[in-house]
Amino acid sequence: MIFTAFAAITVFVIWPLLIRAGSSVYGVPNDNIGAIWWLWWLKNYRSFSASVQTCPLIGYPFGAYFSPVPMEPIQYSFYRFSLLFLNEAFVFNLDILLSFLLSGITMYYLVKHITRDRKSAFFGGLAYLIAPYHAYQTMFVGGGIAPVQWMPLYILTLLKYCDKPNAKRALILGISAVLVAGTSVHYALFTGLFTVFFLVGRYSYKYFKRRKYPDSKCKASASFLMSSKRSLLLSLLVVLIVVLFSAPFYTLGLLKSDKKGQWDITTTPSQLRVEEHYVKNSAHPKDYILPTRRNLLWRLLSGATSDVETLDIQKSLYLGLTLIILSGLSVAFAFRKEKQERATFEDSGLLTGDYRTEADFNGKLLFKANLFGFFVAGIASLLFSLKPYFYIGGAKILMPSYAFMIFVPWFRWYLRIGSVVQLCAVVLASVGLYLLLTSIKAKWKNFTLFGL
């Protein structure tokens, strides 16, 4: 029933595209038009007695050169297979449709794994499915920006692997990472950064708890991911799987895409990789808070007299008050100091207070550690989405995103890492909803018992 609801919401979000999928485009004319033309070329290049990487129709009289090595091989394979049966517009729109539907499903399973609650999982899947970032970016670009659905799947396998590292879970984690890397080079970068931020937050929380309660028996839960040679080797295996798969495609794809033909041009003009664009394509903190003027409630509160507004891509970062408030609730829970946490283990291994067993203590510790991991990942991603520098007087203050200019010069849309901010906000908000519902249920139960 839940997945049927997600399918119905997907149809509603993209309507009436579903009945015009072979002749219309989702969104507004932008990079998506070029993507559809490229799909048309993939389907018809043999008709011109040409190779897929040399197109004689543009750049006359010498033609234009395309990289023969796809940087995103899984996405590319999906396109090539679908084009055997469907036209280029339908394939492009099918990719969009699946990205909406699957994003709701994968987020549902991620939240369900954390909360063990279907209601909260449904909320998380719905919030992620209709997230402004996905809709806005897909309307303008599509293609390698649309498949946000594999990041929650990767995070789910990461959590399971962290809980119990073994060969099977390491292999599944590697496959999910390859799925992300093979569909979008952007989300491969974002997922890698998320992994670092999340693990730092998760294990920092557990480390300080272990230092705080040195005599407790929660040491196993507070141990680091690479605490044994076996877990270290398994973690290196996951990294090796991803590198061996993605490195050849990324390296050759970037090198081949910059190859010049008989014209002194490349497929990626150098003027798009300048400092001006890095700054312009960054986020501002207010972008996460203030909605578009097309929002009726915001127009009434702000006194705006017109809903005329350009489709500003920065508006894709808007989180909404619901996610912000519920996320704050879950973060407050993670930082809350409880009397039970100050209790120590007795010789029998039992805890005083509400914790009855060592497993109860470790379970709640792990739950809070995951929340803190998502919190750290969300804040770090927000900082990396901002401008690479700002000025105070005559002093130039560098921001974390300045590292992109040095180490990842091909990446120029810094605001797109806001997708990780929204993902973390959805997870934290879903946990906040779960905690709220649990509290209401407990109070209602106590009220009923008191009445009886």
So what's the pLDDT on residue 265? 59
Q: What is the pLDDT along the chain (452 residues), one digit of tens a residue?
A: 899 999 999 999 888 888 888 888 888 888 888 889 989 988 888 888 778 878 888 877 777 777 777 888 899 899 999 999 989 999 999 999 999 999 999 999 999 999 989 999 999 999 999 998 998 888 888 878 889 999 999 999 999 998 888 888 889 999 999 999 999 989 999 999 999 999 998 888 877 776 665 555 444 444 445 556 777 787 888 888 888 888 887 777 666 655 555 566 565 665 566 777 888 889 999 899 888 776 677 667 766 665 555 567 888 899 988 999 999 988 887 777 554 444 443 333 333 334 444 455 556 777 888 888 999 999 999 999 999 988 888 888 889 998 988 888 888 889 999 999 999 999 999 999 998 888 887 666 555 545 54
The residue extents of the domains of the chain are: 2-301+311-451
Question: Would you give the distance in Å from CA 86 to the centre of its chain?
Answer: 29
Q: Is-contact 131 422, C-beta < 8 A?
A: yes
Distance CA 143, CA 95 (A): 7
Which residue intervals of 132-291 are DSSP H helices? Answer: 132-140, 150-163, 167-183, 185-212, 219-222, 229-257, 275-280
So what's the pLDDT on residue 421? 95
DSSP 291: P
How much is the pTM? 0.86
So what's the pLDDT on residue 219? 47
Strands (E), 310-436: 389-392, 395-398
φ/ψ of residue 283, rounded to 5:
-95, 170
Q: How many CA atoms lie within 13 A of 111 on its CB side?
A: 31
Query: Tokens for 422?
Result: 């929204």
Query: Tokens for 155?
Result: 């995070």
So what's the pLDDT on residue 57? 84
Q: Which residues contact 44 (CB under 8 A, 6 or more apart)?
A: none
Distance CA 241, CA 182 (A): 12
So what's the pLDDT on residue 50? 79
Distance CA 162, CA 122 (A): 24
Q: Is-contact 235 226, C-beta < 8 A?
A: yes
Torsion sign, CA atoms 288, 13, 296, 294: positive
